[in-house]
């Protein structure tokens, strides 16, 4: 018997990507509504109540309202791609590689909160360092990142691609979240097990898909002094069972002259690079991923597979 899946918000950027990934699956029955009915609550809730698993690709307020409306349907399991439930104790955080046993917790959960793209990159670095006791909860985490413009959804895609529009964006690269209160900060703090708010500086480049997340380290601030090889060993050990997350070798790092944000575009993979100067004791850890792949739609499909027992 096929699992019935409804993508609530299937006509948005994330929803379209999820639908594309599931199109050829013969183990799933995809429930759908026409584009013109996407705001028809009666049609939406009919599909929600038919489904075994719903993937919500909605704004935060709409996601909260939808979850509240279907709570009594105990058959329905939910993956929420909004930021609404990412630090809620009633929801399992949907980053399968976050820590030991996380994939199993996702697999048995009723409610799964899909991570954000920036937090996926940031936490892929922070959590192994916390668990290896290299940084403590008070470490002053600084995150600098750049994403492809598709991460901003349909509006930003239009602003970047339609150069004749009144609200077009002409910049090739820009910082945003300038008040340092970006919506992704709480989940990075909570799931990174940090006591202090991380300093997060996001930016967007004129390319559609791809992302680099950078976190600098200085030996003078760490609980233990490390070398570049020590750091690679920590990440390799943390992700030793992962099919999607890998760590660049020292040789691969040394061959690089530049790191391309589009390196893993159109994939669901993430790769960690350790750059540094052992003599100076300074390092920059970089996570490269596709903001719509491992950072959004790919993660939702990974969580769906865990929830139906397919890994």
Q: Determine how β-strand 3-8 pairs with β-strand 28-31.
A: parallel
Domain range enclosing 16: 3-115+296-307
On whether the CB atoms of residues 133 and 227 are closer than 8 A, the answer is no
Q: Write down the pLDDT at residue 212.
A: 98
Residue 236: DSSP 8-state:
H
Residues 148 and 253 in one domain: yes
What residues contact 193, with CB distance under 8 A and at least 6 apart?
127, 130, 137
Quote the tokens at residue 76: 């329905």
The residues annotated as belonging to the active site are 117
User: How many domains are contained in the chain?
Assistant: 2
Structure tokens at 296: 């959004």
What's the burial of 16, exposed, middle or buried (CB within 10 Å: 0-12/13-18/19+)? middle
Whether residues 172 and 232 share a domain: the answer is yes
- Are 166 and 272 within one domain? yes
Distance, in Å, from the CA atom of 132 to the CA atom of 32, rounded to the nearest integer, reads 45
Taking only the tens place, the pLDDT of each residue in 82-140 is 999 999 999 999 999 999 999 999 999 999 999 999 999 999 999 999 999 999 999 99
Say if residue 122 is in the same domain as residue 231: yes
Same domain? 301 vs 240: no
Instruction: Quickly list DSSP for 110-158.
Output: SEEEPPPHHHHHHHHHHHHHHHTTSS-TT---EEEEEEEGGGGHHHHHH
Report the first-to-last Cα separation within the chain, whole angstroms.
18
Instruction: Please give the structure tokens belonging to residue 83.
Output: 């930021």
**35 and 65 both lie in a single domain:** yes
Q: Are residues 132 and 21 in the same domain?
A: no
* Residue pLDDT tens, the chain, 311 long: 899 999 999 988 899 999 999 999 999 999 999 888 777 888 899 999 999 999 999 999 999 999 999 988 889 999 999 999 999 999 999 999 999 999 999 999 999 999 999 999 999 999 999 999 999 999 999 999 999 999 998 889 999 998 777 789 999 999 999 999 999 999 999 999 999 999 999 999 999 999 999 999 999 999 999 999 999 999 999 999 999 999 999 999 999 999 999 999 999 999 999 999 999 999 999 999 999 999 999 999 999 999 999 87
The per-residue pLDDT for 310 is: 86
């Amino acid at each position: 018997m096929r699992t019935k899946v409804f993508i609530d918000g299937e006509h948005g950027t994330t929803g379209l990507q999820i639908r594309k990934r599931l199109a050829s699956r013969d183990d799933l029955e995809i429930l759908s509504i026409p584009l013109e009915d996407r705001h028809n609550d009666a049609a939406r809730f009919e599909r929600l109540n038919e489904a075994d698993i719903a993937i919500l690709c909605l704004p935060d307020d709409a996601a909260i309202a939808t979850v509240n409306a279907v709570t009594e349907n105990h058959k329905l399991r939910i993956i929420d791609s909004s930021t609404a439930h990412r630090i809620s104790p009633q929801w399992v955080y949907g980053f399968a590689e976050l820590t030991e046993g996380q994939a199993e917790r996702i697999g048995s959960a009723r409610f799964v909160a899909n991570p954000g793209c920036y937090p996926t990159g940031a936490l892929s670095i922070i959590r192994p360092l916390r668990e290896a006791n290299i940084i403590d909860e008070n470490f002053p985490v600084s995150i600098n990142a750049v994403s492809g413009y598709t991460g901003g959804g349909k509006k930003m895609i239009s602003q970047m691609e339609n150069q004749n529009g009144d609200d077009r964006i002409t910049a090739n690269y820009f910082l945003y979240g300038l008040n340092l209160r970006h919506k992704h900060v709480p989940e990075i703090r909570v799931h990174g097990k940090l006591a202090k708010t991380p300093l997060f500086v996001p930016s967007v480049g004129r390319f559609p898909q791809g992302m680099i997340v950078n976190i600098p380290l200085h030996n003078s601030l760490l609980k233990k002094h490390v070398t570049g090889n020590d750091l690679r060993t920590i990440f390799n050990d943390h992700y030793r069972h992962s099919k999607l997350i890998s760590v660049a070798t020292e040789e691969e790092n040394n061959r690089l002259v530049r790191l391309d944000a589009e390196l893993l575009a159109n994939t669901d993979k993430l790769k960690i690079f350790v750059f540094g100067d052992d003599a100076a004791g300074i390092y920059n850890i970089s996570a490269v991923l596709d903001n719509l792949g491992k950072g959004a739609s790919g993660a939702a499909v990974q969580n769906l597979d865990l929830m139906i027992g397919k890994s």
